[in-house]
Structure 1
Amino acid sequence: MARRAQDVYTEWRGGTCRVKWWSGEYHDDGRKRFESKGGFTDEDEAFAHGQDKIYEWRHGIGVSNRDGRTLMTEWIDDWLNSLDVAHTTEMSYRSIIETHIRPYFGKRNSVVADIDVIAYRAFRKYAKQALPGSWGNAMKVLNLLLDDAVPRIIKVSPVERTRRRGKFQKKPKERKKDMLPEAVEQLARNAQALLGFQGYVLVWTMAMTGMRPAELYGLTREYCYPNWPGSDPRADPDEEERYEEDVLRYGKGGELMPAIRVERQVQYKDGHLTFMPPKYESYRTLVIPDFLAGLLEELLAIHDSEWVFPAIRGGCLGGMNVPYRYWPRISGGADAHEGPLVRKPRGALPKVPSFAGRRMYLLRHGHKAWLDEDHGRDVYAVEARMGHEVPGVRGTYSSVTVAMEQAIRRTLQERWELLQTSLGPEA
């Protein structure tokens, strides 16, 4: 005998009972759309299942049978279209998805609702084998995909959360060596042999400002000393007050401080180098020591490129893949004439032991160490210069004062002058 209640009813078909319940949706003609499940041998159990489904729908945690059968590949498309993250983050997600996640689940015609803990662990095993050095990144993206499927497609995410149990194990940390001015000078000379004078100035600019490589590649004349701030395009009407203050604080001559304005970086988008906001939208002004101001002024006087650090054949340096094609020889040394395109015949490049085999990005880390040594008390000024957000009350109430900037300029200039003294007059 069938049972019926509001939006739930049962019926016997052969030797088993089927329950039908309203899914919360309507057909195009206005009729309620029902879903069902059969195979019950106990009518009370079937009816209770239907009531549970109605409860889930009313409390916003229900998943329709139709949504539950969504293919993983279809959900990936929907998820990617909904992303609102930084360009570089999106490109990283897409690379992992198209290289590993989509092929893996697409080959199996996986339905999202069928990805349980066992299927999740199977992908993790695959990722560890296919991506021994970065399988964790693939799991992070998969975790986001599955977590965001709740509650529309699945009720519970199969993602296994790491729980701290047992003995604490400290995460390995990259070992760094002190960044000595002598090492930076040798890096700069090696870079000059490969890239020209702009290579020399590039290395010292990164060491003295902590700018990220993509920010340096994207630096154009209007945002660089001696042109900025007079040449600032002033594109944002909401920043008019800052523009006026910059003219009174930075520039060339008198009491003004030479500075670089970080307004953008370059990244590849759709196969082309494109201007993007700096990482974490860390727009900032970086005062520079007098020697670097002189180098930048000299560099801009000997070329007419829009880029402060143009590539060997012109254009943006970001297209030369400096960290992979040039940096290993700048830091690790090279035999005479060895390496990619160079400006002119050259001799051997000496190895810089403290940087050999290490990332170009460590120049930025070294700058942070210099700031900490000289200005550790002014935490806000140091972190603001690096493009970091300072949390809490300190970040809310603090600001970078002229005195702080003058102190930073002074200590950086002193490092340069000590280097020149140690190198001697023939340097």
Structure 2
Amino acid sequence: MARDQHVHVEWRGNTCRVKWWGGEYLPNGRKRYESKGGFTDEDEAYQHGQDKLYEIRHGTHIRNRDKATLMSDWLDDWLAAMNYAYSTEVAYRSRVEAHIRPYFGRMAIGDIDPLIYRAFKKHMEQKVGPATAKNVLSTLGMIIDDAVPRLIKISPVERTKRRGKFQKKTKERKKDVSEETIDALARNAKTLLGEPGYVLIWTMAMTGMRPGELFGLTREYCYPNWPMTEPRTDPAEEDRYAEDLERYGKGADLMPAIRVERQAQRTARVKGAEFFPPKYGSQRTLVIPPFLADMLEAMLATHASRWVFPAYRGGCLAAGDFNTDCWYTIRGGADERPAGPGVRIPRPPIPAVPEFAGKRMYLLRHAHKAWLDEELEHSRYAVEARMGHELGGVEGVYSSVTVPMEQAIMKSLQGRWDRLQDRAAGRPS
């Protein structure tokens, strides 16, 4: 039987090697062959070469030198090609440099198999907490998946757990959040940040805004200024600009609202904070209850900062570490700081809020969602849109947020505040 001229078998001692040509040439013009040795049967070696030619013709072949690419080199290429939000890129780069590169750096990407992946997973679970391990493994999965089919045929990353003992996923334990708890947190924030601190906590509880969105909120996007003061920079948004003027603002026939157009984050590129689009591009309008509208208007009259919720000295809260600087004290309390030598900002004692001991500020956003869900008459579409989420399927395509939906949300949130005031005054609610 005639043999393919692009496949050659040659014996070396007791074993033979097969070489095959995939259509590439060396710089000197000679053909570039790939090869594999160790065969003891010449027909088996020849068939292997034929199989490789079949893969080449059908675009599924991975060259030996591609499989031999060092993981460190692939990590460099992958990081250089990232195109994510700034904070996401920072997180991915941190996981790569702290965990993935030190473990895999000198290993060829084609040598990473499921057993090596499992060993790394076990290593991470023993080295760091479960949340960090999960994030690192997720990033590694994306990195290796992107090498398919350029460098490897299939990813060794296991997507489903099929072996080993069952481990139930741990879920963050949440408790019902009362209006009294929110007010206790707000009063502590007021001790640290003044009136803007008090309104900040209530605004997050009544809007579900993310912390970065609150930190980046400026006067032109906040009641009572918005929508009259919104910068109209996008011609594609002209219809929305006009509709917002008819629907929102200060007036008997208008609804008070905040416009979430961006978030602020601390970065290494500039001193202070930078603006970025909100997470998942979730620009949205949030109607607010009348009590919060009054709070915002009165509070904005007390300071001249561009930031609706400025730091103690007037800057952006995102420029510092809000958790360390403020949140841990807001939830956990602190001793009195009396005036005296070396004390820049004296303050009274701050009581702990036991219901939020060890809890993230982000749970105020979760509490807002739970409050809306408790009111069964609210449209699911309106609630998810308020949270900055998108619903899939027919419901997401056909639904829209109407004025009655927004008015219902305003009414239920105002009712929570009114009942809190009644309970504080000893009135039946």
Matches within 5 A, 1:70-89: 70-89=69-88
Match of 1:125 among 122, 127, 133: 122
Deviations 1:202-255 (A, max 9, x none): 001001100000100011111111111111112221111111100110111121
1:158 aligns with 2:159: no
1:21 matched to which residue of 2?
20
Distance 1:64 1:369 in 2: 54
Deviations 1:104-138 (A, max 9, x none): 222xx211111123322221222122213321221
Q: Which runs of 5+ in 2 are unaligned?
A: none
Deviates more, 1:224-233 or 1:133-142: 133-142
1:116 aligns with 2:117: no
Q: Counterpart amino acid of 1:66?
A: R
Q: Counterpart amino acid of 2:259?
A: R
2:263 matched to which residue of 1?
265
1:295 matched to which residue of 2?
295
Distance 1:257 1:148 in 2: 47
2:50 matched to which residue of 1?
51
How many residue pairs match? The answer is 420
SS in 2 for 1:19: strand
- Compute the displacement of 1:186 (Å): 1.2
1:368 matched to which residue of 2?
369
- Compute the displacement of 1:325 (Å): 3.0
1:246 matched to which residue of 2?
244
**Aligned 8 A contact 1:3 1:9 in 2:** no
Task: Calculate the TM-score normalised by the size of structure 2.
Answer: 0.91
**Aligned 8 A contact 1:331 1:351 in 2:** yes
**Aligned 8 A contact 1:215 1:264 in 2:** yes
Deviates more, 1:129-138 or 1:250-259: 129-138
Deviates more, 1:229-238 or 1:204-213: 229-238
1:171 matched to which residue of 2?
169
Change (3 A) 1:59 1:393: same
1:10 matched to which residue of 2?
9
**Aligned 8 A contact 1:312 1:343 in 2:** no
Distance 2:344 2:202 in 1: 20
Deviates more, 1:294-303 or 1:158-167: 158-167
**Aligned 8 A contact 2:70 2:107 in 1:** yes
Task: Calculate the TM-score normalised by the size of structure 1.
Answer: 0.92
- Compute the displacement of 1:31 (Å): 5.2
Aligned-pair identity in percent equals: 62
1:335 aligns with 2:335: yes
**Aligned 8 A contact 2:265 2:319 in 1:** no
**Aligned 8 A contact 1:23 1:64 in 2:** no
**Aligned 8 A contact 1:375 1:408 in 2:** no
**Aligned 8 A contact 2:207 2:288 in 1:** yes
Q: Counterpart amino acid of 2:84?
A: V
1:420 aligns with 2:427: no
SS in 1 for 2:246: helix
**Aligned 8 A contact 2:378 2:408 in 1:** no
**Aligned 8 A contact 1:70 1:113 in 2:** yes
SS in 1 for 2:364: helix
Matches within 5 A, 1:209-358: 209-272=207-270, 273-337=273-337, 344-358=345-359
- Compute the displacement of 1:424 (Å): 2.7
SS in 2 for 1:267: strand
Deviates more, 1:7-16 or 1:185-194: 7-16
- Compute the displacement of 1:369 (Å): 1.1
1:408 matched to which residue of 2?
409
1:93 aligns with 2:92: yes
- Compute the displacement of 1:19 (Å): 1.8
- Compute the displacement of 1:193 (Å): 0.3
Distance 2:18 2:122 in 1: 39
1:146 aligns with 2:147: no
Q: Counterpart amino acid of 1:38?
A: G
Distance 1:193 1:233 in 2: 34
- Compute the displacement of 1:168 (Å): 7.6
1:200 matched to which residue of 2?
198
Distance 1:121 1:278 in 2: 36
**Aligned alpha-carbon RMSD (Å):** 2.4
